[in-house]
Amino acid sequence: RALLAVSLNLMALLFSTTAFITTHWCEGTQRVPKPSCGKEKKTNCLNYSGNETANETNQNVVHYSWETGDDRFLFRYFHTGIWYSCEENINAAGEKCRSFIDLAPASEKVTTTALPLCVDTSSECPQELKWQLRSGQICCVLWLSVVSEVLYIMLLVVGFSLMCLELFHSSSVIDGLKLNAFAAVFTVLSGLLGMVAHMMYTQVFQVTVSLGPEDWRPHSWDYGWSFCLAWGSFTCCMAASVTTLNSYTKTVIEFR
């Protein structure tokens, strides 16, 4: 059981670290206007009046395009993580990335002088200030999510180290029980922090979809493999803690 707990804790640590540094928590498509056709771009663009030369040389001519509705837009792929959001580059090969922290509603927009006179749920609070208050709250939640993810990984490392000490360097039953108990406590705490961190990030992303920059807002999105790894890490973490507690209880009963 001790070896199983160590293996589960190691899997949780690997999954959580991979999810933390990757950018596939959420992925989907963004609807962006097609660029105008030119000499270097012939596809996935708007060809006004069917005449590229006139379009480029005569700026006084009224240009028109027969494309309507969604035909005037491109649907580019994007994926987002805790740190970065990357989008398909429609003008060149590859992707372009920007900080997700900058995309989330920023706390700098909050009018701090009006905060004591207005609360988010007050009927007297102007609608614009309500949005500013919510933006500040979301920014704080995002940073809390980042801090919780870091603490989650650190506690997993501590729990893994204690389990390894108990498994390979325990000299007596009493010492092994102490290490086992501390490892279980740290693993449970890390699991709770991880669950809170994942839920906070999910809330931040959903609000950013509604309040984020208009050129970034997704047309459609879903959770990606990094999100699955994060919750898989939480599952392995809690399984490791349960296994460790079970081993501790069994040892105490046998020792008595």
The tens digit of pLDDT for each residue in 45-61 reads 656 555 444 444 555 55
Four-residue CA torsion sign, 142, 145, 149, 151: positive
The span from the CA of 31 to the CA of 153, in Å, is: 36
Residue 138: the pLDDT is: 67
Rounded to an integer, the average pLDDT of 122-131 is: 46
pLDDT digits (tens, 9 = 90+) for 92-115: 777 888 888 888 765 434 333 444
The per-residue pLDDT for 216 is 86
CATH number 3.30.365.10 is the correct assignment for the domain at 1-25+128-255 = no
Domain boundaries, the chain: 1-25+128-255
Neighbour order of strands in the sheet with 220-223: 95-99, 84-88, 73-80, 26-33, 220-223
pLDDT band (50, 70, 90) for residue 198: very high
